[in-house]
Structure 1
Amino acid sequence: MTGGAGNIRDAQNRLNANRSMRASKKGKFKSHSHDLIYKTGSTGKSSQKKFTKEQQEKAKEKVRLKLQKEKKIRLIMIIIFSIITLAAFIYLNSK
């Protein structure tokens, strides 16, 4: 038999070599470099907006309402699908 193991080992070596050539993402997650990542242009100002507590609470409430609405729609869809599936099952078993 011709060895397939050599091909597999070659592929593993290439994957390891490619992985080692990639730049590390470790620096992006360190807190001291946070401002370096989120700066815009050469002005050095942060691109993140500052919000007041009231604006944060409004945004949180808006997200909560949206999630509740999506949850209700999802529940209704599951109930409708279950009823249709049950009706089809009963119809097919009755024949």
Structure 2
Amino acid sequence: MIIFLELLKDKAVKKKTWIFTSRATRDLGERLGVVEKLERLGVKVVCDTCPIVAPIRELGVRSIATNSAKGAWFSRNLNGLKIRFMPIERLVELAVK
């Protein structure tokens, strides 16, 4: 989360942007003020689940961009999503574009 926030350079996202993480990481991010800053910039920080088991298609999502090879594979093969697999730097560029 910290790297994503630093790469944003205080730019708000223009596309739906979700970060999936553990409860412990989110709690630490809250204590450091990272979650609040990300949410102010339009990023949703979700914990204790992942897009693989979340009802993502029911939310109207048909494609995702991710830096997770595992997430990309399962999202395509289990949920039928279109995938863009890229490094975090490119994800941030795409989110603010």
Bigger proportion of residues as strand: 2
Bigger proportion of residues as helix: 1
User: Which TM-score tier does this pair reach, normalised by the shorter chain?
Assistant: under 0.3
Pick the structure with greater CA Rg: 1
Q: Give TM-score scaled by structure 1 length.
A: 0.18
Q: Give TM-score scaled by structure 2 length.
A: 0.18
